[in-house]
Amino acid sequence: MAYNTIEDIPQTPMLKKITILSSMGIMMDGYTLTVFSYALLYLIKVMALTSYEISIMGISSILGVFAGSIIFGKMADIYGRRYIYVYDLIAVSIFIFLTGFSTNYVNFSIFQFLVGLGIGADYPISSSIQAEFSPKKVRGKYLLINIFSFSIGSIIFLFVAVPLVLFTGVNAWRFMYIIGAIFPILVLYSRKKMPESPYWIQHKFGKNAGERARLEMEKYTGYRINKIPELEVGGSKIRDVLKGKYLVYSIFISVAWFSYDIVSYGIWTYSPLIFSTEITSYYADLYIVFTGMAESIPVFIGFLIAIYYVDKIGRKSLLIIGFLGSFIALIIFFFMNIYMVVGLIMTFSAFGIVHFFHNLGPSPMTYAYPVEIFPTRIRGTAMGFATSVSRLGSILAVFSFPIIDALYGLKTIVIYFAVFELIGLIITIKYAPETKNKSLT
C-alpha cells in the first residue's frame, strides 16, 4: 500500500527508535536540573557557598542551554539535523563527568555551562527530528513522549541518589554527577546510524535530493511513500523567525515558555532546599530524596493525561488548562500563607498540584509548538530562539528565588509565580494557534 506523504505512514519501529534517541538530551536536562537541586544540599556545606555563589552555580547550565540552543538551532537549519545530533551528547557526557571533580564554585560553574551548551544544542535538533519523522496524526503524542523524558531524567536521578546518600556521605554529590555521564554514551552509536531528515534534505538541496531521501525512507519504514510534502520557500536567518505571522508565533511561544520556566525552574531547583528546613531527622537528606520522588507522581500523571489527549483535543486547550490550573493553585496557596501557618505537607501539596497542571499543559506544549508552527527552513532556528528565551525565565527564577525568599519570604515568591502563570494564560488565549493534525511545511 502506498501513502501520500511521510506524514501519512503508520507508526513504525524506526519512529520508536528515533523517539528514544531524540529523548536522551532532554532526559539529561532533567537529570542535570534535579541533580543540582540535591547536590546543593552538600555543596553549601562543602564549599561554604554564599547566596550569590549559589545563584551563579544554579544558572551556569541554564546559560549553556541558552547559548547552545540558539547557536546550534541555527546551525541545524544550515548544516542539517544529523550533523550536530551525533556529537552534542559527547560534550554533555564529558563535562558532567568533570563536574563531579569540581573544587570550587568557579570550575563547577564552567563545567556546568559546557554541559548546558551540549543540552542546548540537543533541544532544537531532537525536537525537529522528532517532528519531521512523525506521522501528523500522532505527532503530538511522540513530541510529548520526547519532552516527558525530562521528567524521566529527574526520576532516574532520584533512584540513583538513594544509595549514594546512604553510603557515600559528603561526597554523594560528586558521584551524582559522575554517574550521570554514563547515560548519553548509551545512544551515541545508534545516533550515528540515523538518516538525515528528508524535509531538511529537500529544503537544502531541492526535489531531486528529496526524491532520494524519500526512497531511503521507504527502505527504513517498509512503506511506499509517494512524495515529501511541499515545503515553504524562504530564508533561514534568525530575522526570518520575526517576520509576518512568524513574529506573532515567536511572541506567543517565547512569552508562554518564559512564563512557564520561571515557575517550573524556581520550584524544581529550590524545593529540596525549602523542604530541608522543615526536616531535622538524622536521615533528612534521604527523606528529601523520597519527597522528590513523591513530588514526581503528579508530574507523571499530568504527562500521561496530556499524551493521551494531545492528538484528540489539541495543543491549545491543554495549554490553557495547564496555565489556568497552576494560577488558581498558586493564588489559593498565597492566601493560605497569609492566613495560616503553612508547613511541609501543605507546601508539598501546593507544589504537587502546580506540577500536575504544568505537565498537563505548559511543559509539553511549549516544547511541541515551535517545531509545528514554524516551517522546515527555520524550524531549528525558531526552536533554538524559543528555547533561549525560555531559559532567560529559568535564569531569572534561579537567580532571584533565593534573594526574594531571603528578603520577603515564600508567600512573595508564590504571588510572583502566579503573575507569570497569568501572563502565560493570557498570551495563549490570545495568540496560540491550533496545530493538531497540521502538516509540516
- What mean pLDDT is reported for the chain? 89
Task: Note the pLDDT tens digit of each residue in 302-339.
Answer: 999 999 999 999 999 999 999 999 999 999 988 887 77
- The three-state secondary structure class of 97 is helix
How does residue 102 score in pLDDT terms, banded at 50, 70 and 90?
very high
Rounded to whole angstroms, the Cα distance separating 9 from 140 reads: 15
- 1 has a pLDDT exceeding 80: no
- The three-state secondary structure class of 225 is strand
Task: Note the pLDDT tens digit of each residue in 358-373.
Answer: 999 999 999 999 999 9
How does residue 86 score in pLDDT terms, banded at 50, 70 and 90?
confident
| pLDDT at residue number 357 | 97
What nine digits make up the cell of 321? 488548562
Task: Note the pLDDT tens digit of each residue in 5-43.
Answer: 889 899 999 999 999 999 988 998 888 878 888 888 889
Q: Out of 113-117, 153-157, 195-199, 289-293, which region has the weakest mean confidence (pLDDT)? A: 289-293
| pLDDT at residue number 306 | 97
What nine digits make up the cell of 244? 509576518
SS (HEC) of 275-335: HHCCCCCCCHHHHHHHHHHHHHHHHHHHHHHHHHHHHHHCHHHHHHHHHHHHHHHHHHHHH
| pLDDT at residue number 219 | 87
Rounded to whole angstroms, the Cα distance separating 147 from 84 reads: 19
| pLDDT at residue number 319 | 98
Rounded to whole angstroms, the Cα distance separating 372 from 435 reads: 7
In Å, how far from its chain's centre is CA 97? 21
| pLDDT at residue number 343 | 63
CATH architecture assignment, domain 2-431: Up-down Bundle (1.20)
